[in-house]
Amino acid sequence: MTTSINISSLLADKTPVVRKGDCSYYGRFNSTGFGLIRSYEGIPENILVNLVVSTILLLLFVYLRRRFSDSKNIADDTEISILLYGQNNKSRDFTSNTRWLWIRDLFKISDWDVYRNCSPDAYYYLLFHTYLIAYLVFVTIFSLAIILPVNFQGTQGTIKQKFAHTTIANLPSNSPLLWVHACASILFVLAGILVAYLYTNATQYYATEDVASRTLMIRGIRPYACDEEKLSEYFSEAYPTFHITHLTLVYNIAQLQHAYKRRELNLLIWQQSKKMFEESGKRPVVHNNRCGQMCGWFSKEIDAIDYYERLYNAYKHRVEDEYLHVREKTCGLAFITFSTPEEAHRVRSDFRLTCFKADHRPKTSTSKSLVVHDWTVNFAPSPKNIIWKNIPISEGSHWLRILVVNTILVFFMIFLTTPSIVMSTIDKIADKYRSIDPLKTVTKQIHFPVILTSVMPVLLLRIFAAAMPSLVSVTSLLEKQWKKSALDKSMMIKLFVFLSMMILILPSLGLTSIEGFLRWVFKSEENSTSNSRIRWMCVFLPDNGAFFVNYIITSAFIGAAIELLRSSDLIFYIYIILTAKSTTERRVIRHALQFPFRFGVQYAWTSAVFCVILAYAIACPLITPIGLIYMLIKRAVDKYNLVFVYDTEIADKSVHRLAGHFIIIALIIQQLTLLFFIL
C-alpha cells in the first residue's frame, strides 16, 4: 500500500491543536549528544563551535590586516585590506595603524579621544554601550546570585534536563518563590529607567553650531516669490529692528551635482591613465560594457586615454550648461540667518501654527503677494546634515513615497519574517512521513546531531538578521529623506521593529512569520480552542530559553568576527572592482570608496539584542552573563571600526535620544514576559 504525498499538501497542513512542540522549532527534533551537552540543550557544544569558528575568522582578520595595512611596497595605498580593515586617516594621528600597536591603542584610547578626533556622535554611541554594560553588570550579578538559586529550588524539571532547572519553568505556578522574580522585575525596571534617563540627559549637551541656532529654513515659497530682494524686503518691513546677515535661496542642483562628480571622477581616471602610460610605455585599454573587466572578452578594447578624455569633456560641458540654468530651478526653499539666536527664535515663534494659537505672522505690504501663510518656518539643520539631491522633492511626494515604500516592506515582512519558516517546513515534512505506517519505525530512529539542532537554527537566524539592515536601508533610501538624521531615524525605527519581531517575539511564541502572528491574534472565538492560551507558555519553555542563549552566543563570537571582517562591505567592494572598465578606473575608485558608520542601524541592532537579553534575564538567568560578554565584545568591535575603519557620518541628537527610548521598550517587553507567565 502506497501513500502519495506532494509538497503543496505538506506545506498546507494545519494542526488544529497547539502542542508543546509547536512553541519552538528549536529543540523539537530528536538529537544525539552526550552528558553535559544533552543536559544543557547543546549550549556547551554551541560555545565550542563558536569559539573555533570565531578564532579562525579572527586569525584571518589579523592576517589580512598585518599583511597589507602597513605595506610600504604597495604603490596604491588603498588596497582592499586598508579600505576594509584599517585606514591611514591623517586626522586621527592619535592611533598607530601598524602591526600590533593598534591593539594597544584600542585599549589606550579613551572615549574623550574619540570625541575630539572622530566625532561627538561616535562618543555618544560608545557612551550608550557603556551605560548598557553597567546596567547588565548589575542585572547579571543579581540574576546569578539571587534568581538562579531560587530557580534551583523547584522540582518541575526532570533529572536529565539540567538546563530546565535554571529557568523559571522549574518552579510551580503557585510557588511563593515567584515573588522574588516579581520584585526583581520591579528592581530591573527602576534601574533601567535610571540608565535611560542618565543617557538621554547626557545627550542634551550635544554641541550645536552657532550658525544653525541663528538660521531658519523657510519651505513652501511660491515659485514667483523665490527672489532674494522680495524676501529681504518682507523681513525688513516685518522686523525693522532685526539684522539679516545672510539670505540664500535653494536651487535644484541634483543634475549639476551628478555631472560635477562624474567630471571630477573622469578627470582623475584620465590623469591616472596618462601617468600609467608614461610609466609603462603601454597605452591602457577600456572594456566598454556593463560588466567591465569581468566580461572583457565579450567587448572590444578601446584606448583608455582617449575614452576618458572624451567623457571628461562631455561632463565638463554639461556642468557649464547646468550652471547657467540652475537659477531657473527653484525649490521654494530659502535659508535666512539673523544676527542673534533670540531674533531667530522670535521669527520662528511668529510663524509657528498651533491649534490653540492665533496667527501672529506679520502683515506687510508684500505679505499677501508672497502668500506667507503657506510658509513653514523651522530651524535649519546643519549643512552637513542635509542630503542636497533630495531637497527638490516636494513634501507631498516625500510622504507618498514613505507610505508606498513602507507598505510594500510590511507586506514583504508579513510573509518572510524569520528563518523559522525553513525549520517549520522541515518539521511538517518530517511529521508527514512519520504518519505513514511503513515509515514510522524508520523515522522514529532518525536522530539529528546536536550541532544541527543547536547551532544551525541560531546561525540561520543570525544570517537572516544580518541581511535585514541592507533591505531596510534600501527602502529608507527610496523614501528620499532630505536630512541624514531623518534617514538614520527611519532606518533605526524600522530595523528595531523588524529585528525585535524576527529574533525575539515570533520565535518566543513559536510563530513562523508575522502572517501567523496576525492570524493567531485576530482568531475568532469560534475557531479558538482551549489550548490556544498555551502559546503564552512558549516564552518559558526551557528549550526556548536555550535557543536565545545560543543566539546571543553566536552573535557575540561569530557575529563579532564577521563584523570585523566586514563581509557585506567586502562583497560590495569586489562587485565595484570587478565591474570597473579599466585598471586605472579600478585604482581611482579605490580612492573614492567611503564606508560610513550608520549610527541608526547599529543602535537598532544593539537595542534589539538588548531586548532579547532583558526579556529572558528573569525567566532564564544564564542568558545574562552571555549578554554581558556580547555587549563588551560589541563595544570593542564598534570602537575599533569607529577609530580605524569607518568614516563617521553626522547624526543628530534625536537619533541618540531615540536609543534611550529603546531601553524603555526593552523594559516593557520584560514586564510583558512575566505577565504572560500567569496567563
**172-202: pLDDT as tens digits:** 878 888 889 889 999 999 999 999 999 998 8
In this predicted structure, what is the pLDDT of residue 9? 40
Residue 100 has pLDDT above 50, yes or no: yes
Residue 327 has pLDDT above 90, yes or no: no
Cα dihedral sign for 512, 515, 517, 523? negative
Cα dihedral sign for 446, 450, 452, 457? positive
In this predicted structure, what is the pLDDT of residue 32? 42
| Range 471-477 average pLDDT | 81
In this predicted structure, what is the pLDDT of residue 287? 80
In this predicted structure, what is the pLDDT of residue 118? 80
Indicate the burial class of 619 (C-beta count within 10 angstroms; 0-12, 13-18, 19 or more): buried
Of 579 and 509, more confident: 579
Residue type, 224: Y
In this predicted structure, what is the pLDDT of residue 8? 39
State which of 596-605, 643-652, 660-669 shows the largest mean pLDDT.
Answer: 660-669
Q: How many CB atoms lie within 10 A of CB 677?
A: 20
| Range 156-163 average pLDDT | 61
In this predicted structure, what is the pLDDT of residue 198? 93
Residue 630 has pLDDT above 90, yes or no: yes
- The rounded mean pLDDT for the chain is 76
Domain ranges of the chain: 27-46+86-206+402-553+598-677, 210-252+329-381, 255-325
Q: What is the pLDDT of residues 249-258, one digit of tens each?
A: 888 888 888 8
Q: What span, in angstroms and rounded, lies between the C-alpha atoms of 388 and 390?
A: 5
CATH of 210-252+329-381, one of 3.30.70.330, 3.40.50.720, 1.10.10.10, 3.40.50.10740: 3.30.70.330
Task: Name 375's Cβ contacts closer than 8 Å, sequence gap at least 6.
Answer: 218, 219, 220, 221, 351, 361
pLDDT-based confidence at residue 74 (cuts at 50, 70, 90): very low
Among 19-33, 105-119, 280-294, whose mean pLDDT is lowest? Answer: 19-33
In this predicted structure, what is the pLDDT of residue 313? 93
Q: What span, in angstroms and rounded, lies between the C-alpha atoms of 159 and 164?
A: 9
| Range 649-656 average pLDDT | 77
Distance set, CA 54 to CA 107, 224, 393, 455, 565 (Å): 21, 63, 46, 14, 11
Of 536 and 196, more confident: 196
State which of 106-115, 268-277, 586-595 shows the largest mean pLDDT.
Answer: 268-277
Return the axis-axis angle of helices 653-677 and 484-500, rounded to nearest 10°. 10
- How much of the chain exceeds pLDDT 70, in percent? 69
Residue 259 has pLDDT above 50, yes or no: yes
In this predicted structure, what is the pLDDT of residue 99? 57
Among 8-12, 413-417, 522-526, whose mean pLDDT is lowest? Answer: 8-12
Rounded to two decimals, the pTM is: 0.78
pLDDT-based confidence at residue 449 (cuts at 50, 70, 90): low
| Range 100-105 average pLDDT | 66
Of 560 and 71, more confident: 560
Element (H or E) spanning 217, and its range?
strand 215-219
Cα dihedral sign for 536, 541, 545, 548? negative
Q: What is the pLDDT of residues 338-350, one digit of tens each?
A: 988 888 888 888 8
pLDDT-based confidence at residue 5 (cuts at 50, 70, 90): very low
State which of 71-75, 188-192, 225-229 shows the largest mean pLDDT.
Answer: 188-192
State which of 212-216, 415-419, 518-522, 540-544 shows the largest mean pLDDT.
Answer: 212-216
In this predicted structure, what is the pLDDT of residue 448? 52
In this predicted structure, what is the pLDDT of residue 192? 95
Q: How many CA atoms lie within 13 A of 9 on its CB side?
A: 7
- How much of the chain exceeds pLDDT 90, in percent? 15
Distance set, CA 497 to CA 410, 492, 502, 504 (Å): 11, 9, 9, 10
In this predicted structure, what is the pLDDT of residue 43? 80
In this predicted structure, what is the pLDDT of residue 206? 57
Q: What span, in angstroms and rounded, lies between the C-alpha atoms of 381 and 388?
A: 12
| Range 593-613 average pLDDT | 87
Q: How many CB atoms lie within 10 A of CB 501?
A: 19
Q: What span, in angstroms and rounded, lies between the C-alpha atoms of 237 and 338?
A: 15
| Range 54-66 average pLDDT | 83
State which of 43-47, 178-182, 540-544, 672-676 shows the largest mean pLDDT.
Answer: 178-182
pLDDT-based confidence at residue 70 (cuts at 50, 70, 90): very low
In this predicted structure, what is the pLDDT of residue 36? 46
In this predicted structure, what is the pLDDT of residue 677? 67
Q: How many CB atoms lie within 10 A of CB 244?
A: 15
In this predicted structure, what is the pLDDT of residue 127? 93
Q: How many CA atoms lie within 13 A of 216 on its CB side?
A: 25
In this predicted structure, what is the pLDDT of residue 76? 44
| Range 660-678 average pLDDT | 86
Of 637 and 653, more confident: 637
Q: How many CA atoms lie within 13 A of 437 on its CB side?
A: 3
